[in-house]
């Protein structure tokens, strides 16, 4: 086997990863049984690969999740970055790329949209092909960002998940491994809404950790404090909202600007502005506008060109402001809500190229991605 490949196998094994010899016609089939087995010895992995004439290996995903993007398109990259963020460890595959995250909880369902196909793999009984593997057809998996150790990976977060989904059932009176982190975040959110002081929030969250989740020692005080600070800061900034049950504040000046506009699209622009305010008004983050998703979700019943014209009007009135233009593979514009003030350069409109040809059927974003 190539020396680069064997060196990578040794490095990953020493870093604590569980490896798997692969082979078969496509180079992606496990050569040995591995389900529910402990970590295989490195010598066994190397021996089985050499015996099969294989140059491919897998990385098992205990405590990890891989976002497996099968469509390497600007639309898919924008969707992944907006919904899941990014990771320092990534691999170029035959059709797309892998992003590695730490993970504790359920994995999302497959994303299957026009131009976007994303699978998710997680847990010790699942695997992905590792970097520097070479399949029989000549496809080489290239490292885009080095997989160093599990502890250096970011935690996986699905920003499109429903915030008020019910808690997972307890086991022996405690929330079990697999849903603890999500449950802690949800409880921190709930406590931040009603806590009188930050100290009350932190004390209640520490108590919840100690008495309500399995193996509380996995979540040290510093981590719980950081979580409490995050949600308390959201509350202090008026950005701690409660999903679809929260109220939406729309400035009268914005309504006046749209009402006085002579554009034929002002009715649709008003509706688009209301949707943007409902989904993004409590968030400081920039967001992408996804026309196909707005149409497919039924939130806007209009033609694509009509939606673009309505967005143009909002940009003209500075009720929506373009904050970031495309650069390199980031073939999308990012926006924030504006207050209608006209100072600043007029060139922030984005001209006639403000379209984001991404489709998003997620019921929470419904055509918007933050």
Q: pLDDT: is 177 or 370 the higher one?
A: 177
| pLDDT at residue 224 tops 80 | yes
| pLDDT at residue 22 tops 90 | yes
| pLDDT at residue 350 tops 50 | no
Tens-place pLDDT, residues 79-88: 888 788 889 8
Which of 121-130, 240-249, 262-271, 357-366 is the least confident region? 357-366
**What residue spans define the domains of the chain?**
3-152, 180-241, 252-369
Question: In the prediction, which pLDDT does 93 show?
Answer: 93
Tens-place pLDDT, residues 35-46: 888 899 999 999
Q: pLDDT: is 61 or 347 the higher one?
A: 61
Question: In the prediction, which pLDDT does 159 show?
Answer: 67
Mean pLDDT value across the chain: 81
Kindly report the three-state secondary structure assignment for every residue of the chain: CCHHHHHHHHHHHHCCCCEEEEECCCCCEECCCCCCCCCCCHHHHHHHHHHCCCCCEEEEEEEEEEEEECCCCHHHHHHHHHHHCCCCCEEECCCCEEEEEECCCCCCCCEEECCEEEEEEEEEEEEEECCCCECCCCCECEEEECCCCHHHCCECCCCCCCCCCCCCCCECCEECCCCHHHHHHHHHHHHHHHCCCHHHHHHHHHHHHHHHECCHHHCCHHHHHHHHHHHHHHHHCCCCCCHHHCCCCCCHHHHHHHHHCCCCCHHHHHHHHHHHHHHHCCCCCCEEECHHHHHHCCCCCCCHHHHHHHHHHHHHCCCEEEEECCECCECCCEEEECCCCCCCCHHHHCCCCCCCCCCCCCCCCCCEEC
| pLDDT at residue 354 tops 60 | no
| pLDDT at residue 153 tops 80 | yes
């Amino acid at each position: 086997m190539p020396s680069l490949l064997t060196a990578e196998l040794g490095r990953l094994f020493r870093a604590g990863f569980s490896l798997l010899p692969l082979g078969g016609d496509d180079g992606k089939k496990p050569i040995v049984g591995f389900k529910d087995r402990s970590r295989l010895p490195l010598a066994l992995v190397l021996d089985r690969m050499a015996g099969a004439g294989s140059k491919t290996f897998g990385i098992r995903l205990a405590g990890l999740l891989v976002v497996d993007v099968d469509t390497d398109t600007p639309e898919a990259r924008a969707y992944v970055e907006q919904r899941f963020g990014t990771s320092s460890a990534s691999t170029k595959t035959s059709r797309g790329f892998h992003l590695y995250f730490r993970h504790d909880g359920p994995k999302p369902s497959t994303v299957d949209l026009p131009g976007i196909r994303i699978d998710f793999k997680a847990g010790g009984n699942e695997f992905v092909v590792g970097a520097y593997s070479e399949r029989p057809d000549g496809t080489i998996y290239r490292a885009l960002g080095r997989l160093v150790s599990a502890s250096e990976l970011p935690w996986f977060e699905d920003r499109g998940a429903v915030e008020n989904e019910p808690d997972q059932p307890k086991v022996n009176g405690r929330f079990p491994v697999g849903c603890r982190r999500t449950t802690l975040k949800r409880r921190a959110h709930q406590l931040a809404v009603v806590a009188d002081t930050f100290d009350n929030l932190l004390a209640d969250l520490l108590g919840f950790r100690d008495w309500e989740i399995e193996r509380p020692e996995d979540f040290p005080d510093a981590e719980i404090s950081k979580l409490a600070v995050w949600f308390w800061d959201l509350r202090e900034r008026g950005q701690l909202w409660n999903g679809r049950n929260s109220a939406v504040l729309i400035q009268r000046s914005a309504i006046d600007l749209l009402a006085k506009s002579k554009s034929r699209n002002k009715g649709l622009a008003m509706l688009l502005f209301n949707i943007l305010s409902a989904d993004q008004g409590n968030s400081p983050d920039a967001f992408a506008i996804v026309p196909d998703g707005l149409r497919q979700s039924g939130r806007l019943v209009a033609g694509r060109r009509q939606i673009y014209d309505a967005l143009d009007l909002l940009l003209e009135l500075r009720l929506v402001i373009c904050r970031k233009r495309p650069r390199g593979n980031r073939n999308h514009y990012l926006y924030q809500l504006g207050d209608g003030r006209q100072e600043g350069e007029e060139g922030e409109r984005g001209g006639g190229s403000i379209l984001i040809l991404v489709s998003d059927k997620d019921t929470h974003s419904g055509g918007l991605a933050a």
